[in-house]
Amino acid sequence: MSHLDHRLLRQLGRTVSGFGFALALGMLSPALAERVVTDQLGKQVTLPDHISRAVVLQHQTLNIAVQLDAQDQIVGVLDEWKKQLGAGFARLDPGIEKLAMPGGLTKVNIEELLALKPDVVFVTNYAPEEMRQQIEAVGLPVVAISLLDVPPEEAVKQSPSVKNEAEAYDKGFKDGVHLIAEVFGKDAAGEALIKAATESRALVAERLADLPEQDRVRAYMANPELTTYGSGKYTGLMMQRAGALNVAAATIKGYKQVTMEEIIGWNPQVIFVQDRYPEVVGEIKADAAWAPIDAVKNDRVWLMPEYAKAWGYPMPEAMALGELWMAKTLYPERFKDIDMEARADAYYKEFYRVPYKP
């Protein structure tokens, strides 16, 4: 029975004889059981007790849901999943290419969404309010995920103001994973994922504890079309924990397009490129405009591995593996005993249920 059916029967129960009828109806039909969760915008959302048909219009939530082994409960995904997660994600979520795509991060096709009869719709925290209202108006519950602990007035922004990035992302990540796991009924898997994501942090911190601030490597995250991440995004926090300095953080906030002049002025010693944007590495090396930059002159433009998701939002594998990979890449002598391939393979087998390398 769909959430719409639940809603109609609840309204019928209230109309006929109030609370008594609704309670009796719930006792007769366990399928009508409900629960209330609070999303990461602070909004209370009423859900069916069991979710069997979810639509996920945010790639971060989709990535986490697959790691929770909840993919069989997903019937629709965002239209940009391949761009946002990379084409290789289909190996980790077999069958995703056959799923419906009724919308994206900031838009939705209500007719296509309704045809899927979802129990819940996940959206990003910065989905437009009118998009949420469209979905809610047809009786579908909406759960917003931000993976960031900030006040509601900031949580709705794509680039919110963050006072303490480490605290906001650590708590926001844990709260977000707990919420996604709770919705899908995967609480134990959620706890395991959080533990795996945070247990290597102490190792990195210990081995970089005596690294002088002035010796930190100046790093830049190169995305397509000269976009990058400044302050207030997990990318900078990832760099910080790995012993690097995000050169863009001092002058820009959030996710933004910058100029070549700004990048030349920052003169990063290292340029990182996310696995989902491999073409950017070739563009940088082929474009003479990048030639004066130290990272290019010294051939230190690095394509990151699939698991090192240096996104604006924290992903479990980025925390469990990516921060360690970045630290080892920047300071190999301090991490020469760490076998990243073995660690990645163990992680993938546990949470993606496939080996790291096919």
Q: Tell me the per-residue pLDDT of 134-188, one tens digit each, with 9 for 90 and over.
A: 999 999 999 999 999 999 999 999 888 888 989 999 999 999 999 999 999 999 9
Report the CATH number of the 33-198 domain: 3.40.50.1980
Query: Going edge to edge, which strands form the sheet with 217-221?
Result: 244-246, 217-221, 270-273, 301-303
Q: Tell me the per-residue pLDDT of 50-105, one tens digit each, with 9 for 90 and over.
A: 999 999 999 999 999 999 999 999 999 999 999 999 989 999 999 999 999 999 99
Q: Report the candidate in 58, 2, 43, 69 with the shortest Cα–Cα distance to residue 352.
A: 69
- Please give the mean pLDDT across all residues of the chain: 91
CA distance 58 to 98: 17
Helix ranges, the chain (H)? 3-17, 19-28, 59-67, 81-85, 89-92, 110-115, 129-137, 152-155, 165-184, 187-198, 201-207, 234-241, 260-266, 279-286, 294-297, 316-317, 323-330, 340-351
Helix axes 323-330, 340-351, angle to 10 degrees: 170
Report the CATH number of the 209-351 domain: 3.40.50.1980
Q: Is the pTM of this model over 0.75?
A: yes
Domain boundaries, the chain: 1-32, 33-198, 209-351
End-to-end distance of the chain based on CA atoms, in angstroms?
39
Same fold, 33-198 and 209-351: yes
**Which one-letter amino acid corresponds to residue 261?**
E
CA distance 283 to 64: 31
Q: Phi/psi zone of residue 124: left (φ > 0), alpha (ψ -120 to 50 degrees), beta?
A: beta
CA distance 71 to 164: 33
Proportion of the chain above pLDDT 70, given as a percent: 91
Token pair in block for residue 205: 């911190």
Q: Tell me the per-residue pLDDT of 189-243, one tens digit each, with 9 for 90 and over.
A: 999 999 999 998 899 999 999 999 999 999 999 999 999 999 989 999 999 999 9
Q: Tell me the per-residue pLDDT of 110-121, one tens digit each, with 9 for 90 and over.
A: 999 999 999 999
